Amino acid sequence: MNHIDTLAVHAGREDFAALGVHAPPIDLSTTYPVADLGEGTESFDALVGGAASAANPIYARLHNPTVGRVESALATLEGTEACVAYGSGMAALTAVLMGARSRGGHVLVVRPLYGTSDHLLASGLCGLEAEFVDAGDIAARLRADTALVIIETPANPTLDLIDIRAVVAAAGQVPVLVDSTFATPVLQKPAALGAAYVMHSATKFLGGHGDVIAGIVCCSEQRARPLRTVRAATGGLLHPLGAYLLHRGLPTLALRVERAQANAIELAGRLAAHPAVARVHFPGLGTVRNAHLVGTQMAGPGCLMAIDLRGGYEAAAAVMAKVRLMTPAVSLGSVDTLIQHPAGLTHRVVDPQARLDSGIGPGLLRLSVGIEAVDDLWADLAQALEGVALSAAA
């Protein structure tokens, strides 16, 4: 059982036959009876110390069986020993940053990346000095106290690609975290390329239906233990209902990604020929940095794109107001198509000059393409762009 389509359906369900169930059970207990104090004490020590499980879960902040099953499933999909789930993608990143402080106080970060991730790092809130660098400068900017290298590929929102294997080589002994939210394990496996941590906002493609907020970090068991300790101490555990929804969405992950990607490829080509569009940022068109990594590092170009409109901010605002089938909203990776304005929304918290330097201008819109009929999506985009095209031509 190695194909991603099969793994997505069956991973994390290994104990279902013994339990006599067909769907993931939801364990909503907040506390667990301790009939044997010695066993309870040993279990408590193990879980607080970062163990994946124990004879007694003790308390839901320390462990939950429903969460444990989806963690097992996602570790299988990413090809790692372990996965640690959190209540959001930002909680997941925070836990990694808190754990990194034991190795040093300096972090190298490649822009662009998700706006709130950028803001958290730039703020120094986690007690780390974040230095923003180009991927090609990582080796030269390493310091004795560099604890972590952080990249997001494909990048949010410009879809630029970063060579993970090259970054890992440049980082040397410093662990590399890859935010692989845009790619999903269907299209990219950072751990196989040497990444120490693979992070996802599981709210997006992994959940896939816009009804759960979650974050995950996939890594070795050795690296997972301190992440669980941070989670236990800070209360960042994913709620079991969220874990259930996340697990429920996984069997269709590959189907959803493949259909949405096919739609994105078609829409990107049509948008590239539209008079209102100055540029389409899409790996499948070769219009992003390192697009050659599609077919090697990535199995396909993915389901997201960004478009620069000739009419700038006014054109972007007009398109968001005029779409009828697409939803003008932040987030991504859902079954329906979402369109949003990064400079005004997801990346609003990023330093304005850093936004511009990263290619996030006032006329940029990001599309997360869904699984609808592609001609219906194009009809909606075409009518929304019609007035913009006339304005741009004038």
Query: Which residue in the list 118, 160, 179, 380 is annotated as catalytic?
Result: 179
How far apart CA 194 and CA 190 sit, in angstroms, is: 7
Assign residue 107 a region (left: φ > 0; alpha: ψ between -120 and 50; beta: otherwise): beta
Task: Tell me which H or E stretch contains 58.
Answer: none
231 is catalytic: no
How far apart CA 290 and CA 303 sit, in angstroms, is: 17
How far apart CA 283 and CA 290 sit, in angstroms, is: 8
204 is catalytic: yes
Query: Which residue in the list 59, 61, 103, 248 is annotated as catalytic?
Result: 61
179 is catalytic: yes
Query: Which residue in the list 13, 111, 204, 279 is annotated as catalytic?
Result: 204
Whether the CB-CB separation of 288 and 177 falls below 8 Å is answered with: no
The three-state (H, E, C) secondary structure of 272-303, written as one string: HCCCCEEEEECHHHCCCCCHHHECCCECCCCC
137 is catalytic: no
Query: Which residue in the list 32, 86, 114, 244 is annotated as catalytic?
Result: 114
To the nearest 10 degrees (0 to 180), the angle between helices 221-234 and 37-48 is: 110
Which tokens is 307 given? 């478009």
Query: Could you tell me which residues come within 8 angstroms of residue 10 by beta carbon, excluding any fewer than 6 positions away?
Result: 1
Active site residues: 61, 114, 179, 204
